[in-house]
Amino acid sequence: MPIRVRLLFSSMFLTLFLTAAIPLFTELSRPKDIWWTPHGMLVPLAQSSDRVEVYVRGKPLATAIEAGELQLAGEGGSGALTTSDVAFRFNNWDRVRAERLPLQLVRASAAGAMACLFLLILTGRLAYRGERKP
């Protein structure tokens, strides 16, 4: 294969490889703790029942709070805990990871294919040999 054609194909496959590999690398190197619910968006107890159930001595937390069984002791004294005092933060990493998995698999397979083609071109395994006369 002529050197100009080899350089053209090598640069093309290297560009396609980087196009697939850079987003994959940035996704895999991102910190995992950024998927927690922010403090400003805490989920109230009533809205969190589809994601979490908290039990206090075998009773659901909401039932224990409504019955006035939980007390909060602090510097200003103690008082009964109310449902508005309880909020939750969720780690949504499992849901985000499940949503992004198909795209990441496509990027990884594209990066692998481009790397293989780049190595084949670079090593001269796809050399043009011309037509043979019978």
Per domain, the residue ranges of the chain are: 1-33+91-129, 37-90
Q: Where are the beta strands (DSSP E) in the chain?
A: 43-44, 55-56, 59-60, 71-74, 77-80, 87-88
- Which of 129, 33, 131, 132 lies closest to 90, judged by CA? 33
For the chain, the helix, strand and coil percentages under 3-state DSSP, each to the nearest 5: 55, 15, 30
Q: What does the pLDDT average to over 59-68?
A: 87
Whole-number pLDDT of residue 128? 65
Residue 12 has pLDDT above 70, yes or no: yes
Whether pLDDT at 3 is above 80 = no
Helix (H, G, I), strand (E, B) or coil at 111: helix
Indicate whether 131 pLDDT > 70.
no
Write down the pTM of the prediction.
Answer: 0.48
